[in-house]
Amino acid sequence: MVQKYQSPVRVYKHPFELIMAAYERRFPTCPLIPMFVDSDTVNEFRSEDGAIHVIERRCKLDIDAPRLLKKIAGVDYVYFVQKNSLNSRERTLHIEAHNETFSNRVIINEHCCYTVHPENEDWTCFEQSASLDIKSFFGFESTVEKIAMKQYTSNIKKGKEIIEYYLRQLEEEGITFVPRWTPPSITPSSETSVSCGKQAAALAVAVPEAALKEGPSSEALSNASGAPEPVATTPDDKLDADYIKRYLGDLTPLQESCLIRLRQWLQETHKGKIPKDEHILRFLRARDFNIDKARETMCQSLTWRKQHQVDYILDTWTPPQVLQDYYAGGWHHHDKDGRPLYVLRLGQMDTKGLVRALGEEALLRYVLSINEEGLRRCEENTKVFGRPISSWTCLVDLEGLNMRHLWRPGVKALLRIIEVVEANYPETLGRLLILRAPRVFPVLWTLVSPFIDDNTRRKFLIYAGNDYQGPGGLLDYIDKEVIPDFLGGECMCEVPEGGLVPKSLYRTAEELENEDLKLWTETIYQSASVFKGAPHEILIQIVDASSVITWDFDVCKGDIVFNIYHSKRSPQPPKKDSLGAHSITSPGGNNVQLIDRVWQLGRDYSMVESPLICREGESVQGSHVTRWPGFYILQWKFHSMPACAATLPRVDDVLASLQVPSHKCKVMYYTEVIGSEDFRGSMTSLESSHSGFSQLSAATTSSSQSHSSSMISRWRFC
């Protein structure tokens, strides 16, 4: 497996030329890096005007590895080749390095870049990226990988310290300013010589002419050794090391790299505003900084947020009055660490009455609004306290908890809420203080604890009776001035006291079912399952020709083929026969088939768009300008590779087919019919276009059919 590293942007508040003077003092050897034994100059080139200086060194390293491993490998030192390309005109230094020793077994590539700060020309920026690929190493591949990563991360930490050390050394010698490069006086002959010098440099050291002209914004310097090239992005797209420390906390170099790489992936696959860095970091922490796992869970969460429009819940949803009166929970100042403090008097809350009066969905939505408010308060407290605060503390008072709280539907609702919160708000709970736990609490804990993540469970502190008043109790985590009055403190707590919900507010099961349906069908999206041999189809009736059918759908699972058909007559409504052949209901969504099996393509209905193959994880938007009135059928059909093909199937297709169990796909879709006079050739009319938080795009393609003026854009979101 290839290990990759990408650093944040590290800023030196010194001019580029002074940083270069400090950097050169690292050679031929550096006492601050014990493993850096020596270096020899192999090749060197300097242009006639002095603007371009390229030097190639062979560096000798003493790797801190077990003696046995060195003996097996048969080497005492490891050699690297480093090429530095300095462009004094553009004030950039590109550093490329690769291993010479064991290059057929281990491939190590590194690229570093010093550039001028985009907003302050007297500051210098530094970026670093590297990759490690161990093909084979005498059966010690895992050991070598750990040693290499350990050595590399330790040197990363020292990098800035070394530059600052030599800057102090220069200052002690009275060198605090190094003049910038200035071109020599230009004459016709000198212009020719400079031009020739550039061509010679390009041939000698493979520096492209564009790099000499454009500097840091041009394409990366070519790398014959295959080192990763710098990405040409704007400064706003990058993370500054000081910003990470100020707003995200102290991260190890590898943790910084994971954050930057996942953030970069989002930038490349996202349309609009990307998730906040704190949000990305939470998913990484929840998965121990495993990028693949974090990306998978985050994409699922983003799809969920998009489907239920959670981004707008604080602005568009008002909790029912019953919740405002009887839900015994609310925000109350902050703890000693600056985390927002949420107080929940669970023992005083009539969970059965709330479920009977409101239903499970209303409670869930209210909890989601609490979590969204918590995220907002974390951002505010980060600014107020001047340090990163990404989670909150929850204080749960169980005084009054009894068997009534173990009512089965109430426990079921609680478990579902825990499941949703765990999946979509990871690492938001900094600490959970459970106070005055009664004897019945172990029963509730036995039911609930299996659904709580191990990392979250470790944040629980449980106090029985009045133990919270003693040493190691509440005063260790919350200032005395903000301890609620009902816990013996002096601070008046405005959290509702709860109490029994009047039975006059209870609703019947039918009313609750309709209400729950109403709550979650407020989303403009619908879910559907697609099976092999059982496509999902929807019917759209068009009265006026030249109307525009628009669609927006996400392929959540499997690969599908999207088709659009037209018929002059309406298909028969789906009938649920004993086998459920025409209408299937599944937990993942409905499956409806409209095209009768006796219908023939070309006689009973016709295809008006070319079939569009959509891969798992893609989101597709498009439109079709209708030519005739009648009935249009949008179809999502299971896609499988042909049994016989002239060419071998792609590896991605084979893997995808193996990963889809039971020949089942899932889509989440939204359709809308727009009058031609209201359509402007863009998809801004679709509400999904406004959900910038969760729309990701890796690629955008457009298709214009001569007969339908159709536009299709697609992007990858998970």
Tens digits of residue pLDDT in 47-84: 999 999 999 999 998 887 777 677 777 788 899 999 99
Q: Round to the nearest angstrom and report the end-to-end CA distance of the chain.
A: 21
Tens digits of residue pLDDT in 231-258: 333 345 577 888 888 889 888 888 988 9
Q: What is the mean pLDDT of residues 212-241?
A: 44
Is residue 223's pLDDT more than 60? no
Tens digits of residue pLDDT in 596-641: 888 989 899 999 999 999 988 777 878 888 989 999 999 999 987 6
Q: Are 411 and 375 in contact (CB under 8 A)?
A: no
pTM over cut 0.75: no
Q: Are 144 and 73 in contact (CB under 8 A)?
A: no
pLDDT of residue 187: 52
Q: What is the mean pLDDT of residues 18-41?
A: 91
pLDDT of residue 322: 92
Confidence of residue 679 (pLDDT cuts 50, 70, 90): low
Half-sphere exposure of 266 (CA within 13 A, CB side): 28
Task: List the domain boundaries for the chain.
Answer: 2-173, 241-308, 311-504, 525-571+591-640+662-684
Facing residues of 99 across strands?
A: 80
Nearest-10 crossing angle of helices 253-268, 291-308 = 40
In angstroms and rounded to an integer, the radius of gyration of the C-alpha atoms of the chain is 32
Confidence of residue 341 (pLDDT cuts 50, 70, 90): very high
Is residue 701's pLDDT more than 50? no
Phi and psi torsions of 452, nearest 5°: -105, 135
Query: Among 266-270, 324-328, 487-491, which stretch is predicted with the lowest mean pLDDT?
Result: 266-270
Count of other CB atoms within 10 angstroms of residue 106: 19
d(C-alpha 87, C-alpha 111), whole Å: 16
Phi and psi torsions of 318, nearest 5°: -110, 125
Alpha helices (H) along 85-234: 141-172, 188-205, 209-214
Highest mean pLDDT among 221-225, 243-247, 634-638, 690-694: 634-638
Please give the structure tokens belonging to residue 191. Answer: 């212009």
Per CATH, the architecture of 241-308 is what? Answer: Orthogonal Bundle (1.10)
pLDDT of residue 167: 94
pLDDT of residue 642: 56
Please give the mean pLDDT across all residues of the chain. Answer: 79
pLDDT of residue 671: 87
| Cα torsion through 420, 422, 425, 431, rounded to 10 | 130
Superfamily of domain 2-173: START domain (3.30.530.20)
Q: Are 178 and 34 in contact (CB under 8 A)?
A: no
Facing residues of 40 across strands?
A: 58
Superfamily of domain 525-571+591-640+662-684: GOLD domain (2.60.120.680)
Per CATH, the architecture of 311-504 is what? Answer: 3-Layer(aba) Sandwich (3.40)
| Cα torsion through 500, 503, 505, 509, rounded to 10 | 120
Count of other CB atoms within 10 angstroms of residue 541: 10
In Å, how far are 4, 396, 532 from 235, measured between CA atoms?
Answer: 21, 44, 47
Q: Residue 430: what residue type?
A: G
Q: What is the mean pLDDT of residues 633-658?
A: 61
Q: Are 310 and 364 in contact (CB under 8 A)?
A: no
pLDDT of residue 380: 95
Is residue 226's pLDDT more than 70? no
Residue with the two structure tokens 């239903």 = 359
Q: In CATH terms, are 241-308 and 311-504 the same topology? A: no
pLDDT higher at 314 or 576: 314
d(C-alpha 344, C-alpha 699), whole Å: 45
